[in-house]
Amino acid sequence: MINQYWLMTIGGSLALMMFISVRPIQAAELDSDNDGLSDEAEVNVYHTDPFKADTDDDGYKDGDEVTHGFSPRHSGGLPLAQVDSDKDYLPDAWELALGTDLMNPDTDGDKYLDGTEVRAGYDPLNTESKKLAKDIKIDLKTQRLAYYLDGKKLEEFPISSGVKRLPTPTGEFSVLHKIPAVHYKGPGFDYPNTKWNLHFATNGYRYYIHGAYWHNDFGKPKSHGCVNVSYQNMERLYNWAQVGTPIKISA
């Protein structure tokens, strides 16, 4: 009986020791430099230094930068949406949203760059020619636009839709034409060489989502019916959108 008791106790202790010694090695939970990102995520996802809380020496911790949408790898408060660490035409913010590797220009190894695949609507994580759905959603109440690949949000930002007297149409549309530059002109306005225009409806007027360089009041209605987007955000949306990409505008 005594022997059995000791055997059970020793067995239990061994099991407990193994449990204790195995658990802390789970790297996903370890945050060695206490910057809010696990060692595993720093090494495999963000490509930051797991033993240095402020990888780019700009005074902000890696985790805080990521939480607020800034790159922990580039100093100077660069938004993740404006950084392309591996030069594959896919912004770091989109790589993180899609689960591609922001330091590998061809994550799935099929000889097509991540950004090239996404722009053409293909899955950058699948070597087969698999198409992914693109969606643009505009909420006139909140004056915000968001766009998605395969249901994963790539970006969201404020817009300016039509004023009360010249409202933006609501409903389901799609990109009909992509036009690099348009000269918008009418009573009381004249905006030559307006960049990045996505034509989505014609109803007496032609309605576009387009860049706007003549104001910075994004977040409130301002236009003659089009959807105004800042130049900073519109270039990426324009290059990503394809003829046929669905646009849903809700009131």
Instruction: Tell me which residues touch Ca ion (CB under 5 A).
Output: 31, 33, 35, 37, 54, 56, 58, 60, 86, 88, 100, 106, 108, 110, 112, 114
CB of 239 to Ca ion, least distance (A): 16
State the minimum distance, in angstroms, from the CB of residue 246 to Ca ion: 24
Minimum distance from residue 38 beta carbon to Ca ion (Å): 6
Q: Kindly state the smallest distance separating residue 207's Cβ from Ca ion, in Å.
A: 34
Give the shortest CB-24-to-Ca ion separation in angstroms: 15
CA torsion sign for 112, 151, 176, 218 is negative
User: Which of the 8 DSSP states describes residue 42?
Assistant: I
Helices then strands, counting H and E runs in the chain, come out as: 6, 9
In angstroms, rounded to a whole number, what is the distance separating the alpha carbons of residues 224 and 235?
21
Spacing of C-alpha 47 from chain mean position:
17
Q: Which is nearer to Ca ion, 31 or 155 (CB)?
A: 31
51's CB contacts (< 8 A; 6+ apart) are 32, 33
In the bound state with Ca ion, the residue whose beta carbon lies nearer, of 110 and 135, is 110
Residue 88 vs 155, nearer CB to Ca ion? 88
The nearest distance, CB 173 to Ca ion, in angstroms, is: 30
Q: Is 181 left (phi over 0), alpha (psi -120 to 50) or beta?
A: beta
CA dist., res. 39 & res. 224, Å (int): 51
Q: Is 72 exposed, middle or buried (0-12, 13-18, 19+ CB in 10 A)?
A: buried
Residue whose CB is less far from Ca ion, 129 or 170: 129
CB of 240 to Ca ion, least distance (A): 15
Task: Dihedral sign for Cα 110, 113, 114, 119, please.
Answer: negative
Cβ closer to Ca ion: 47 or 199? 47
Cβ atoms of 31 and 49 closer than 8 Å = no
- Measure the CA–CA gap between 191 and 214, rounded to whole angstroms: 8
Nearer to Ca ion, 96 or 176 (CB): 96
**Residue nearer to Ca ion on the CB measure, 43 or 179:** 43
Position of minimal CB gap to Ca ion: 114
